Amino acid sequence: MSDVTTEQTNSKPGRGSEAADSLQKVAHAMSRLNVPGLPRNYELFHEALFGHDAGLTREVMALSAPPSQLMLDQIGLKYRLPSHCGVAEETVQRGAEGVLKSLTAQISAGVDHKKSFTRALETIVRSIREDESRGLRDLLEELDYLSSTATDLLVSENALSQTLNDGLEQIQASAKAALAANAAMLRDRLTHLPNRIAFTNRLSALYEGDTNPSGTALILANINDFASINAEYGEDAANRILRRLAVIFRKTIKKNDFVARIGGDEFAFFFGDVNLDAARAIAERLHQAVLDNLIFATDSEGETSGLELAMGVAITDSALSPAQLLAQGEAALASARKNRRTPVVVYATDKAASSSRRVA
């Protein structure tokens, strides 16, 4: 038996200074635009300066000073930044609190109107009983006052009902927006597949029970030479390839299977009720589906080529935790990337039993 080879986690010289330099650049960019020092704003500018989404970078760099917080939050929501998606839930909570405060104030005013009406009614009844000699004019005046009080009470009740309805509509609209934001937070903007957050949630959920899971395969897929494709054909063409790849994956897997885009050119799959041999067969089918359906021109005149993937396979039976399963999948993927003739590599705890398939 052998342990998974893991990347050393010791800090490399200069890493601390690089982090400090990055933070300084983010702070400088925010200061130049007079942006408030909120954590979600730091995240937004860090992604703009050091992330990989050119669209986000362009939008943030095009801001004029000082941008409104609403504008910053809208950009963060558009590009699925986690802390900005959380703002939607805060908005729902603040909106609900405001509605409840308004309702409390109007209910209190309504209670006061009802008390006034009750006191007026009691006063008139007592006056009639105690002074039977009172004239009709006096009685009509008191009834007019009672009618006016009743009208005020009715207006108050109607206003309370309208406030309640408006408040409920506001809360429902805000809750709907929050649900949409949460859904967007788990969705990759380019391919509309689940993103790395959704993948991490699914990975963690596998190990939430009291017993270790079994029979679930993790497959990691990476595009060979994607950086070269991006450089040669341009960002737009590379994005079209990624979107097309997502479509192929969705059509190739079953409804209950899971696929996510977890990096620039990296995808992850979960397949339930499988063993290693079945998982390898699935990976090979995915690999072949991409070769057959995603073809583009090469530098050689008249020649075409299919998109090549490297794929690493691991299974929950041999992993005791989410981190271990992911490490095993990454180890298998690294092996597949090193040798193009073995594009599908299956991780096994016994290295002698580790298997791969060559491509003719």
Q: What is the pLDDT at residue 189?
A: 84
Q: How far, in Å, CA of 307 to CA of 51, rounded?
A: 25
Q: Please, are residues 261 and 190 in contact by the beta-carbon 8 Å criterion? A: yes
Residue 11, classed as helix, strand or coil, is coil
pTM over the 0.85 mark: no
Q: How far, in Å, CA of 327 to CA of 79, rounded?
A: 28
For residue 307, with 0-12 CB atoms within 10 Å meaning exposed, 13-18 middle and 19 or more buried, which class applies? buried
Q: What is the pLDDT at residue 3?
A: 34
Q: What is the pLDDT at residue 85?
A: 63
Q: How far, in Å, CA of 189 to CA of 6, rounded?
A: 31
Residue type, 102: S
Q: Which domains does the chain have, with CATH numbers?
A: 15-79 (no CATH), 83-185 (1.20.58), 196-357 (3.30.70.270)
Q: What is the pLDDT at residue 84?
A: 67
The closest of 17, 15, 49, 16 to 30, measured between CA atoms, is 49
Q: How far, in Å, CA of 52 to CA of 263, rounded?
A: 10
Q: What is the pLDDT at residue 220?
A: 97
Q: What is the pLDDT at residue 299?
A: 54
Alpha helices in the chain (DSSP H): 15-32, 39-50, 54-61, 69-78, 82-130, 136-185, 196-206, 226-233, 235-252, 276-293, 322-338
For the chain (360 residues), the mean pLDDT of every run of 10, in chain order, is 35 56 87 88 88 85 87 79 65 66 73 73 70 66 72 74 74 70 80 91 88 90 90 88 95 95 94 94 95 70 71 94 94 93 84 44
Q: How far, in Å, CA of 26 to CA of 32, rounded?
A: 10
Q: What is the pLDDT at residue 88?
A: 60
